[in-house]
Chains A and B, each alone.
Chain A
Amino acid sequence: MKARRIVVTSGKGGVGKTTTTANLGAALAVRGKRVILVDADIGLRNLDLVLGVEKRIVFDLVEVVEGRCQVRQALVRDKRFGESLAILPAAQTRDKTAVTELQFADVVNNLAEMCDYVLIDSPAGIEHGFRNAIAGAAEAIVVTTPEVSAIRDADRVIGKLQERGLPMRLIVNRVRPEMVRNGEMMSVDDVCDILSAELLGIVPDDPEVIDTTNRGVPLVLDPAQRLGAIYTKIARRLEGEMIPFTQLGSGGFFGRLFEALRAG
């Protein structure tokens, strides 16, 4: 049985692609799925740090592509999840051009024979690294924040995914409900309307995520972290369950952004 191959992307950096990949992967693994995470950010890898496995990396994606090791040898298992969660790290000292789209897709297809989910953590931007990351995927999760710049970038990326015929769903990250209620932040409804995208998840802003990320602990494993339950919900939606969303007020930025997207 072949795995679902899902790229996590955004256009804009720092909106939570890597955090989403790690935590969604962890949530699926906790639910008994076999998950392999692929870090496509060659030269600026971080997925290993977020999972806290950075010291255990032996081989990387580029070495797999160059035939210097087997893909199984390069996988770093996250022992907290038994046999369920592994990561294929990116190379840190190489360029994104060290791997072609075809080579990347080939690696992902190989991994898809070994598990239930391959989650690909895309780099920021829409350059070569992004094209590699989407080359191996059959579905996409676009992560955005309720900020005009993130939404404009997401809109551009969604266009590129549509060109490839990749179905996509949206995670709106770092929502601050109080700001939405005060009209200082766009609502999730506004974001979905502007992007004409189907919603997969809403994640509130929590400054303590930084600490968990810095310590390399996935949120689903940290009992003090309330966000763990949210990633579990997203994992269940990904599995096809109908889980209702918490909706939060309406903001007032719709008009300006709509104009900006039409202009750009």
Chain B
Amino acid sequence: METQRIVTPPVDAPQLEIHAPPAPVESQKKPKTRGRTIVVTSGKGGVGKTTTTANLGVALAARGARVVMIDADVGLRNLDLVLGLESRVRYHVLDVLEGRVSLADALVRDKRVPTLYLLAAAQDREKDDVATDAMVGLVEQLRDEFDYVLIDSPAGIEMGFKNAIAGADEAIVVCTPEVAAVRDVDRVVGLLGNRINAQLVVNRIRPALVRKGKMLSVEDVNAILRLPLLGVLGDAADVIVSTNRGEPVALDEASATGAAYRAIAARIAGEDVAAPQAAEPDGFMDKLGSFFGGRR
């Protein structure tokens, strides 16, 4: 069955509060707001976990919520790049867990949306360096300060995935209309078990291909997964551009994908929002044709 390796901190590391279990009920303190803890995961890589985390973080914060995003992809961090915050990352999750800096020092505040914060992953460390109970403690501490703790899971179902889901009560599973992605997501939903409440985002739908019978439809995908549908996103080129530039599309009022992310954020916040249609990219096949036809 599942093996959980608990990595002991260095001997001279100070004892951290966050290693302790959450405050007991009989605590004298006035109960604080308990933020929601949501992991964004998928099993398969490259389906849009990080893009979804960044954009939902931006969209929720733009609604006025206090949001912190944790990059759980130790060794292969990317959430900082997608948010355009890479030059401002000074400390990471393991600096906090190993007691080198305070949580407040490690949080990077997004200047565009002032209630949005990032806690970056370590880039030069391994996922096995993070102890699952320490990760849970960190999430518990953050949910006392924030309305939403969004955790960006790495691909796969190894240690990094286990750490990412350990502190979460809810999951957004991202799937693309590909049989390989559906199979991986199905496996992940099984691993999330009954404790974590999962909802589905279907990403990179191309309605024209679905109509031609050349792509699985949202209904096809969810006939297998059978999850509450949180949102549908089209396969838009502006998402690639926004990732490369570090400017999430949710900030772009003119972007159809941005609007779709804002609608998902509204739905997460409890609003009854109709699902927007996945937008069709313009003339993409013409562009592709020019590559094959117009070779220099």
Residues of chain A touching chain B, judged by Cβ–Cβ distance below 8 Å, are 11-15, 18, 43-44, 46, 49-50, 92, 95-97, 123-129, 147-150, 152-153, 156, 176-179, 184-186, 204-208, 210-211, 213-214, 226, 246, 248, 253, 256, 259-260, 263-264
Tell me if B77 and A264 are in contact (CB < 8 A).
Answer: yes
Q: Are A177 and B291 in contact (CB under 8 A)?
A: yes
Question: Interface residues, chain B, CB within 8 Å of chain A?
Answer: 2-3, 43-47, 50, 75-78, 81-82, 86-87, 89, 123-124, 126-128, 154-160, 176-180, 183-184, 187, 206, 209, 214-216, 235, 237, 240-241, 243-246, 284, 287-288, 290-292, 295-296
Query: Known contacts A95-B3, A213-B180; is A126 also within 8 Å of B76 by CB?
Result: yes
Q: Are A253 and B180 in contact (CB under 8 A)?
A: no
Q: Are A207 and B76 in contact (CB under 8 A)?
A: no
Known: A14-B46, A14-B47. 4 other contacts (CB 8 A): A44-B43, A44-B184, A126-B126, A176-B287
Task: Indicate if the CB atoms of A13 and B156 lie closer than 8 Å.
Answer: yes
Best-buried of A44, A126, A153 by chain B (most CB within 10 Å): A44
A252 → chain B, closest Cβ, in Å?
9
Q: A208, B244: Cβ atoms under 8 Å?
A: no
- The residues of B that contact A126 with a CB separation of less than 8 Å are 75-76, 126
Q: Which residues of B contact A184 (CB under 8 A)?
A: 237, 240-241, 244
CB distance from A84 to the nearest CB of B (A): 24
Q: Is the CB of B187 within 8 A of A43?
A: yes
Asked whether B158 lies within 8 Å of A125 as measured between CB atoms, the reply is yes
Q: Which of B82, B215, B287 has the most CB of A within 10 A?
A: B287
CB nearest neighbor in B for A259: B87
The answer to whether B240 touches A147 (Cβ under 8 A) is: yes
Asked if B287 and A177 sit within 8 Å, CB to CB, the answer is yes
Residue in chain B with minimal CB distance to A175: B291
List chain B residues, Cβ under 8 A from A226: 292
Which residue of chain B has the shortest Cβ distance to A264 in the bound complex?
B123
Bound complex: CA A46 to CA B87 (Å) = 36
Nearest B-chain residue to A215, judged by Cβ: B179
Residue of B nearest to A46 (CB): B180
Distance (whole angstroms) from the CB of B122 to the closest CB of chain A = 10
CB-CB under 8 A from B183, the residues of chain A are 44, 46, 49
Q: In the complex, what's the smallest C-beta–C-beta distance from A153 to chain B, in angstroms?
A: 5
Query: With a CB–CB cut-off of 8 A, which chain B residues contact A264?
Result: 77, 86, 123-124
Residue among A11, A210, A256 making CB contact with B76, cutoff 8 Å: A11
CB distance from B39 to the nearest CB of A (A): 16
The 9 closest A-B pairs by CB, nearest first: A13-B45, A14-B46, A13-B155, A124-B45, A124-B155, A149-B78, A178-B287, A46-B180, A211-B214
For A206, the chain B residues whose CB sits under 8 A away are 288
The smallest beta-carbon distance between A224 and chain B, in angstroms, is: 11
Task: Looking at the assembled complex, report how far the CB atom of A176 sits from the nearest CB atom of chain B, in whole angstroms.
Answer: 7
